Amino acid sequence: MEVESKGVEIAESAEEGKDSSDRVRMILMEAALYVAGRPLDLKTLGSVIKVRSKREVRRIAKILIKKYKSHDTAIEILEVEGQRFVMQLKADYSMSVRRLAINPLLTLGPLKTLSYIAYRQPVSQKQVVEVRGGHAYSHIKSLRDMGLIKCEKNGRTSVTRTTDYFADYFGLSHDLKAMKRQLRRVFNNVLRREQE
């Protein structure tokens, strides 16, 4: 009887240790997602929480998602394409607080140039300048310096396209066709809001 009791105690102690370990991993994962401000893949999250198994990393991420869903908060954690996870503000609240963002990533001009490049890519620098005007040269330089686009020489002009960092930062697909569909939805939502 005493042996069975000790066996139950050991099993309960192991379960408590696993729960404690999961809590620490969830806290580290939450911190990583908060600091990154962009989607992180399973390998990156695994390196932060010191877990090699992608299945285990995903399990912990799913627990964290459930935790956020169970609380009434403006922040959510989502799984996005490519088994990546992101912490972000819920869309319901973004319009109410966007004016509080002290330093937006981009001003309106470069943002429009970036939008054009993202939607039309791969697009020649010459075409971008024709559509956006001469100021697009400085936009392209800053966007390239920020790592959001890359330019490749093609004869006498450069061909511009977005980078993986761009897709991660804005929570978009790395697949070009899927990204363009996502952008089309975003643009349609913006137009709809402007018409209201």
Determine the residue type at 92: D
Say if 18-95 and 108-195 have the same CATH topology: yes
Can you tell me the mean pLDDT for 176-192?
A: 83
Can you tell me the mean pLDDT for 63-78?
A: 91
Rounded CA separation 15/78 (Å): 27
Rounded CA separation 2/14 (Å): 18
- For the chain, domain boundaries: 18-95, 108-195
Q: What is the CATH T-level fold of the domain 18-95, as seen in this structure? A: Arc Repressor Mutant, subunit A (1.10.10)
Q: Could you name the CATH architecture of 108-195?
A: Orthogonal Bundle (1.10)
pLDDT band at 13 (very low <50, low <70, confident <90, very high): very low
Nearest to residue 144, comparing CAs of 167, 157, 162, 132? Answer: 162
Can you tell me the mean pLDDT for 190-195?
A: 72
Determine the residue type at 152: E
Q: Tens digits of per-residue pLDDT, 104-133?
A: 667 888 888 999 999 999 999 999 999 999
Nearest to residue 38, comparing CAs of 103, 86, 101? Answer: 86
Token code pair at residue 71: 């609380």
